[in-house]
Amino acid sequence: MSEQVTSRDGVDPRFAALPGRPGKVVAVHLSYGSRADQRGRRPAQPSYFLKPSSSVAASGGTVERPAGTELLAFEGEVALVIGTAARRVRVEDAWRYVGWVTAANDLGLYDLRAADRGSNLRSKGGDGFTPLGPRLLDAAPLDPAGLRVRTWVNGELRQDDTTAGLIFPLAQLVADLSQHLTLEPGDVILTGTPAGSSVLRPGDVVEVEVDAPDAPGSPTTGRLATTVVEGTHAFDSGVGALPAVDDHERAEAWGSRAAAGLDPQRETGALTPDLREKLARVPVAALSGQLRRRGLDRVTVDGVHPLRPGTRLVGTARTLRLLPGREDLFARHGGGQNAQKRAFDAVGPGEVLVIEARGRADAGTLGDVLALRAHVRGAAGIVTDGAVRDRDAVAAVGIPVYAAGAHPAVLGRLHVPWDTDVAVACGGTTVEPGDVLVGDADGVVVIPPALVAEVVDAALAQEEEDAWVAEQVAAGHAVDGLFPMDATWRARYDAWRRTR
């Protein structure tokens, strides 16, 4: 395999840096630890989407930011080009099927993510949205864990990471994909972007380079350069989805709420993997007690119960509001891609969809199909103070669901799906988008994001103390003076802790 493939007569210039036009371009949603930490969610397995080969572009070209949009974001990535057909290959053999490595820019238009979130067809499939090149590196001598990807915008370094920081090694991605489909020669795999992705404006020049700094000769792809230009054609409202942005999408596109010029205190994705792990260990009763000590009593979602015993739920809130049924309103708001369907299509990894149904358990607010949709999208759970339909089927999906009951009637019997991502009243408490929800067999508690770290650490400390007290009671000590502890018992407990 040669290190560089150059343009040949008759070759479309878009594919001049490749062996030919790729049959498919497969992209990974989230794969770098730095990006996962930035987003506050870490996937257990890789997930993918397809980009059309018509989105491929060569180095030195331009890309349009479509008229009427604001959130065109860059993502510098390592691209793998398949050299040998791969079908059901083992991880330990997978790298042999990679022919070349090159640089990629997985450009995305966040203004259109809500229209087809997950598939990314419109948001990432536009013409010129997949620049590749400018040179191919022979993969055989390269260490797949020793590749570096860097991105510059107008000469300023914005991304700098190596494949050692991947959650899913490159060989795993090849092997996993080959379980499901044949990877054919010339196919391209975009392996995800590290932290630092952000928004571009017309006139910006973005450059991506992939190299192997520790390999002999430090081979490099060279810099893949793309210039952003302002588009002149607007999207047709009579044909399909129009651009739509909110603060959540702005924060995602820019990389953080602060970078987007938004109030960081309203961050909705603030749960780090460490906080999620802690919350998953703490009983809801302990969290409720700590919130009460801080003056917050009205933070439980009353009247809801898990569909499956042993269910645990931890996540940040996305919301759906259902209004009381009225026939004329349902005729206007109940059909098509209504608020209910939009909510289930928008809920993301690590998020909990909270449904306000005014405590009415005599009509369903979701069924098995919508539960499956939330599960496929990686949602952490669903909480509704209404009922579910197809109760056994919903429980079998596997996503944590807390509900007020079960009922065979459809939503339209009582409710009008009204709006999403607004403050809702669920089970007697208010839930704002971005609030943190934790559920167990006792029920569900709502924690303001600013208090999460403080409350969970205090709850863990209290749980440790309570476990020690329980040991003393089991050993025969009376509860008087021990629960709660007086000064004598407190001194004994503090002495015990110092020995740990």
Q: Do residues 41 and 121 make contact, with C-beta atoms less than 8 angstroms apart?
A: no
By CB atoms closer than 10 A (0-12, 13-18, 19+), residue 439 is: buried
Is 389 annotated in a binding site? The answer is yes
SS3 sequence of the chain: CCCCCCCCCCCCHHHCCCCCCCCCEEEECCCEHHHHHHHCCCCCCCCEEEECHHHEECCCEEEEECCCCCCEECCEEEEEEECCCECCCCHHHHHHHEEEEEEEECCEEHHHHHHCCCCCHHHHCCCCCEEEEEEEEECCCCCCCCCEEEEEECCEEEEEEEHHHECCCHHHHHHHHHHHCCECCCCEEECCCCCCCCEECCCCEEEEEEECCCCCCCCECCCEEEEEEECCCCCCCCCCCCCCCCHHHHHHHHCCCCCCCCCHHHCCCCCCHHHHHHHHHCCHHHHHHHHHHCCCCCCEECCCEECCCCCCEEEEEEEEEEEECCHHHHHHHCCCCCHHHHHHHHCCCCEEEEEECCCCCCCECCCHHHHHHHHHCCCCEEEECCEECCHHHHHHHCCCEEECEECCCCHHHCEEEEEECCCEEECCEEECCCCEEEEECCEEEEECHHHHHHHHHHHHHHHHHHHHHHHHHHCCCCCCCCCCCCHHHHHHHHHHHHCC
Does residue 243 have a cis bond before it (omega within 30 degrees)? Answer: no
Is 368 annotated in a binding site? The answer is yes
Q: CB atoms < 10 A from the CB of 398, how many?
A: 11
CA distance 413 to 324: 10
Contacts of 196 (CB under 8 A, 6+ apart): 34, 76, 151, 158, 159, 160, 161, 255
Question: Whose structure tokens read 């979602």?
Answer: 301
Is 370 annotated in a binding site? The answer is yes
Is 367 annotated in a binding site? The answer is yes
Question: Whose structure tokens read 């149904």?
Answer: 357
CA quadruple 181, 182, 187, 190: dihedral sign: positive
Which residue, 217, 92, 222, is CA-closest to 142?
217
Q: Residue ranges for the binding site for Mg(2+)?
A: 390
Q: Residue ranges for the binding site for substrate?
A: 367-370, 389
Q: Residue ranges for the binding site?
A: 367-370, 389-390
